Homo-oligomer: A and B are copies of this chain.
Amino acid sequence: MIEPLSYYIDGINNKDRIVLSRAITLIESTVPAHRVVANQLIEYCLKQEKQSKRIGITGSPGVGKSTFINALGAEIIANSQSLAILAIDPSSTITKGSILGDKTRMYEIAYHKDVFIRPTASSNYLGGIAQNTYQTILLCEAFGFDYILIETVGVGQSEIEIKHLTDLFMLLVLPNSGDELQGIKRGVMELADIIIINKADKANEQQAKISVAQLKSVLPLLNYQNKEWNNIVLQTSSIEKIGIDNTLKYIESYFSKVNIESIRKQQLLSWKNNLVIQLIQEKIMSNKNIKTIIDEFLANDAYSYKQIQKINTQLESLINKLDS
């Protein structure tokens, strides 16, 4: 069942959360008729003058992302601001969802009227996470949320995708004896605008101090690319609510210093690039001549150098038709 464009636009303008949820489901759809309305809706959203702070939050499992978001979110709503939380789980491609839900960890904010929480469906194709998330961000922004927090699990490709669609990228790490710094990969550290040592609870104070010192000594070695901001290390205890207000101050300071317009231009370009690659993939992979070549190649369950030569030749002569 598909609603007309006006249904979604009106619902978003009237701050109707049920419509927002349905709009997100719409943009995640790959059905052509849904895509037509979805694309029009995205165009509408991009034209709105509203601007949210788009913040990516990442870190390994167990680092306390949900508890941190609970504490930061409570601080944000205490300042009379609203927020949307988008949770992405790139690992759930086989059976979706985690064993326990995250809402229990966001107990302070999960049912607050100014808070909207939504898991983002992962997707089977390259760049699919970014594709859906970016459009969901645009919907939430048009809806008028002041903050949009995008939580992602794991250390991998998804971080790099999320980096490209947020304004500010935060990495959460644990206070450790230093022995474990090696586990944080350079690639992800270089993306982080703010590194947070979370779980710096009173009991871990000493360890946290050592971690801060260590990370600070590492910062100058990183190839951090933002010229308008110096990447920093902060410490928080999300459970004891230590350092959360300070973190929010740094977030606001970040947004006052960077050129949001140029960041947004980059995000749109990165998304458009993603989109066009996806369109090409979909069309190519559903072409019947391409399918025939693939099927023939896979029907033979052995491997030979000649097979590779053959499929290369077949693909080349087929794709050469594009030049005719």
Contacts and interface: CB of A to CB of B under 8 A. Distances in A.
Interface of A: 39-40, 42-43, 46, 60-62, 89-102, 105, 126, 153-160, 174, 176, 180-191, 218, 221, 223, 265, 268-269, 272-273, 275-277, 279-281, 283-285, 287-290, 293-294, 297-298, 301-305, 308-309, 311-312, 315-316, 318-319, 321-324
A45 to B, nearest CB: 10
How many copies of this protein are present in the complex?
Answer: 2
A299 to B, nearest CB: 10
A169 to B, nearest CB: 12
Given A60-B61, A60-B62, A92 B185 contact: yes
A203 to B, nearest CB: 14
B95 A190 contact: yes
Nearest to A188: B91
A260 B303 CA distance: 17
B98 A182 contact: yes
Contact of A100 (B98, B182, B189, B272): B182
B272 A298 contact: yes
A288 B320 CA distance: 10
Nearest to A152: B156
Contacts of A315: 279-280, 283
A60 B64 CA distance: 13
Given A99-B218, A100-B181, A284-B319, 11 more contacts: A39-B309, A40-B305, A61-B183, A89-B187, A95-B186, A99-B181, A269-B298, A269-B301, A276-B294, A280-B315, A283-B315
Given A89-B185, A187-B91, A272 B297 contact: yes
